Amino acid sequence: MAVSVRFNESELSLIKEYAALYNISQSEVIRKATMAMIEDSLDVVILENAMERISKNGSKMYSFEEAGKELGFQ
């Protein structure tokens, strides 16, 4: 499926430079950047939902180091 996106000259120039630097197409630059942005945004929503659930049910959160000590790995 094709999608049309408009960029100003400076944005397009930056996309072209990035594509040339990594030897990929401009479409691939735009596709990868878009997907990364969406995935990052979804990660934030998932984290916020998890933090809300944890705060509501009174669960204790452990850092990686704390969990390791608790489980006897350190």
pLDDT per residue, tens digit, the chain (74 aa), is 889 999 999 999 999 999 999 999 999 999 999 999 999 999 999 999 998 998 899 888 889 999 999 899 87
> How many domains is the chain built from?
1
- What are the residues whose beta carbons fall under 8 Å from the beta carbon of 53, sequence distance 6 or more? 59
DSSP reduced 3-state for 17: helix
Asked whether residue 42 is assigned to any structural domain, the reply reads: yes
Helices (H), 1-74: 9-22, 26-57, 64-70
> Could you tell me the residue range of the domain that residue 43 belongs to?
34-74
Asked whether residue 72 is assigned to any structural domain, the reply reads: yes
Asked if residues 5 and 30 have their Cβ atoms less than 8 Å apart, the reply is: yes
Q: At what angle do helices 26-57 and 9-22 cross, to 10 degrees?
A: 90
